[in-house]
Amino acid sequence: MALTDDEVQKLEQKAEAIRETIITMLVAAGSGHTAGPLGTADIFAAFYFYILKHDPANPDWDERDRLILSNGHIVPVRYAAMAHAGYFPVEECLTLRKFGSRLQGHPERLRLPGLETTSGPLGEGLSQAAGIAYALRMDGKKNQVYVVMGDGEQDEGQVWEAAMWAGKERLANLTAVIDRNNIQIDGYTEDVMPLESLRAKYEAFNWHVLEANGHDLRAFVAAVEEAKAIYEKPVVIIAHTIPGKGVPEIEFDYHWHGKPPTKEEGKRFLKELRTLGGKLPHEYA
């Protein structure tokens, strides 16, 4: 079912709130990643406020869908989305990366209810998600398993081992989302290690491939709904996003992959976000 105008507006407002929280928590931490979290705010708003079957009051609910975050360095976006969804108080986001905090710089499953895995080393998430999907299928469960990966992460060999195995096992309850923002810590992906044709590579491993604008909530949700209708193979959604989305002065700049804003930059970035009022300043076909 397509999103209504009212549903789109509400999700855009959630994404805006998530972006503001990301900037606030990064300034408070004084360290962390900026570009990826801002670029995936729409995707995580869609997951936590529309797509996922989950219960913040009962994070271990057996019937929940599983959401695996493979590129753990973008976890501020997940923390912000979880906080706004009611898993913990939004104010706790200010403890990001502090000693003793539940909100570590990379997610730790045993610290925070609602996290499915601990992630940090890149390339592991697809293997974890495939194993979970396989186990759920063995148990006759209908839960959906989603995994978010970075595009630079596709450089890791383990990703392709997992892709080959998931395709072989026809894990139709598994949907991968690649944040295709074209940057990684050392530069642009096509300069560091060219990925194209990413679609053809996954198709060669027996995956159904979809592409969507990761900032178009209708398009992204429609892609996830289509993925649910594919019953003979796993699905990967290549979600085209803009790194640093919502703060025009840092958009597309790979230097912001792993750099937090200063206090003054944070004030300016928040002002830019609020000036935009949640509207998308760029079109990305």
**pLDDT tens per residue across span 15-56:** 999 999 999 999 999 999 999 999 999 999 999 999 999 999
pTM, two decimal places: 0.94
Could you tell me the pLDDT band of residue 281, with boundaries at 50, 70 and 90? Answer: very low
Could you tell me the pLDDT band of residue 275, with boundaries at 50, 70 and 90? Answer: confident
Query: In Å, how far are 81, 145, 224, 225 from 3, measured between CA atoms?
Result: 19, 22, 12, 11
Burial of 87 (0-12, 13-18, 19+ CB in 10 A): buried
**pLDDT tens per residue across span 145-178:** 999 999 999 999 999 999 999 999 999 999 999 9
Fold (CATH) for 5-276: Rossmann fold (3.40.50)
Q: What local confidence, expressed as pLDDT, does residue 120 receive?
A: 81
**pLDDT tens per residue across span 245-267:** 999 999 999 999 999 999 999 99
The residue extents of the domains of the chain are 5-276
Nearest-angstrom CA–CA distance, 142 and 128? 18
